[in-house]
């Protein structure tokens, strides 16, 4: 993977911090426009266990107003939730005017962990796959902008990060039973991911893949890419050009050419 221009030119630590601050200033500009124009934004983050979703979201929202920014990370559904329409527990979390909502995992749980771990039936899975795009089309038609990012890492990097969680007392809250078995189900998660891409990537709500083995480059380029997709007053265009080797729209060819981890 090509090195991020800020990291390569200035050194990982110093270059990363400077680039991040510049981009966080752009995010504040964006939020001002979201508030002024009564816009509604959803940003979905999916990906492998330990792919870096928490850190990416943390750095996006770090300096944004908490009144107009929400992070949604729903817990395991209750029996009552399980009896409802699948999307019902997500609808109350949708943004109102002037809000940006970031989903740390989303309704796509059904296409990933629920399918792989057997937490849903085959019928439930097929129902989801057939209805998720119409659901997202309704969101878009209602005036909500939707962005879907999948953070992709290699098997070796996932193994390293999961070990780090187990060894670091400050990361104990991140450990879950799902984490413990994730490496054993690597191929199953790959198959589920590939089918999710092929069936839920559309011109109206495309998937953007993030090569996230390098956490710093991934964070910077997700922010750049998101900023590049939205208009706002005072945009510094030279700062919001994402590296296409780090963030790119899904294409089936990427499964064969090494852009997406097997």
Nearest to 131 by CA among 101, 111, 112: 111
| Contact between 44 and 147 (Cβ < 8 Å) | yes
| C-alpha to C-alpha distance for 212 and 53, rounded to whole angstroms | 10
**Distances from the Cα of 117 to the Cαs of 79, 179, 188, 259, in angstroms?**
17, 12, 9, 26
Q: What is the pLDDT of residue 5?
A: 58
Residue 11 pLDDT exceeds 70: no
Residue 242 pLDDT exceeds 60: yes
DSSP string covering 14-41: HHHHHHHHHHHHHHHHHHHHHHHTT-EE
| C-alpha to C-alpha distance for 42 and 69, rounded to whole angstroms | 10
In the chain, % of residues over pLDDT 70 = 95
Mean pLDDT of 7-11: 49
* Confidence label for 179 from pLDDT (cuts 50, 70 and 90): confident
Nearest to 194 by CA among 138, 253, 239: 253
DSSP 4: P
Mean pLDDT of 72-84: 94
| Contact between 209 and 147 (Cβ < 8 Å) | no
Residue 24 pLDDT exceeds 50: yes
In the chain, % of residues over pLDDT 90 = 87
- Helix segments in 39-121, DSSP class H: 53-61, 79-83, 113-117
Q: pTM for the full model?
A: 0.94
**Distances from the Cα of 237 to the Cαs of 20, 148, 224, in angstroms?**
15, 22, 10
Q: What is the pLDDT of residue 167?
A: 85
3-state SS assignment for residue 177 = helix
Mean pLDDT of 136-152: 98
Q: What is the pLDDT of residue 48?
A: 95
| Contact between 211 and 246 (Cβ < 8 Å) | yes
3-state SS assignment for residue 21 = helix
Q: What is the pLDDT of residue 168?
A: 84
Mean pLDDT of 104-108: 98
Residue 9 pLDDT exceeds 50: no
Q: What is the pLDDT of residue 3?
A: 52
Where along the chain do its domains lie? 5-255
DSSP string covering 239-257: G----TTTEEE--GGGGTS
Higher pLDDT, 171 or 255: 255
Least confident of 27-31, 36-40, 76-80, 215-219: 76-80
Which residues share a beta bridge with 45? 104, 149
Give tens-digit pLDDT for 211-220: 999 999 999 9
Residue 128 pLDDT exceeds 60: yes
| C-alpha to C-alpha distance for 218 and 126, rounded to whole angstroms | 32
Q: What is the pLDDT of residue 12?
A: 61
Mean pLDDT, the chain, rounded, equals 94
Residue 63 pLDDT exceeds 80: yes
Least confident of 127-131, 171-175, 185-189, 226-230: 171-175
Residue 1 pLDDT exceeds 50: no
The dotted CATH code for 5-255 is 3.40.50.300
**Distances from the Cα of 185 to the Cαs of 115, 116, 182, in angstroms?**
11, 8, 5
- Number of residues that make up the chain: 262
């Amino acid at each position: 993977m090509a090195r991020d221009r800020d990291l390569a030119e200035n050194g990982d630590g110093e270059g990363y911090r400077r680039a991040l601050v510049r981009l966080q200033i752009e995010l504040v500009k964006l939020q001002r426009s979201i508030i002024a124009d009564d816009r509604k934004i959803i940003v979905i983050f999916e990906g492998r266990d330990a792919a870096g979703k928490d850190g990416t979201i943390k750095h996006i929202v770090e300096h944004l107003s908490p009144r107009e920014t929400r992070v949604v990370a729903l817990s395991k559904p209750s029996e009552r939730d399980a009896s409802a329409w699948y999307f019902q527990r997500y609808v109350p979390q949708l943004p109102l005017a002037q809000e940006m909502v970031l989903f740390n995992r989303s309704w796509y749980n059904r296409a990933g962990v629920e399918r792989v771990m057997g937490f849903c039936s085959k019928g439930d899975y097929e129902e989801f796959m057939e209805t998720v795009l119409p659901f997202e089309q309704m969101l878009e038609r209602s005036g909500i902008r939707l962005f879907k990012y999948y953070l992709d890492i290699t098997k070796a990097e996932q193994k390293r990060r999961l070990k780090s969680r187990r060894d670091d007392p400050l990361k104990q809250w991140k450990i879950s039973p799902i984490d413990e078995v994730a490496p054993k189900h690597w191929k199953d998660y790959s198959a589920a991911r590939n089918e999710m891409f092929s069936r839920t990537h559309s011109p109206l709500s495309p998937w953007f893949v993030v090569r996230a083995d390098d956490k710093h480059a991934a964070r910077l380029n997700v922010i750049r890419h998101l900023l590049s997709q939205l208009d706002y007053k005072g945009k510094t265009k030279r700062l919001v050009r994402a590296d296409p080797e780090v963030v790119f729209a899904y294409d089936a060819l990427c499964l064969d050419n090494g852009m997406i981890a097997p």
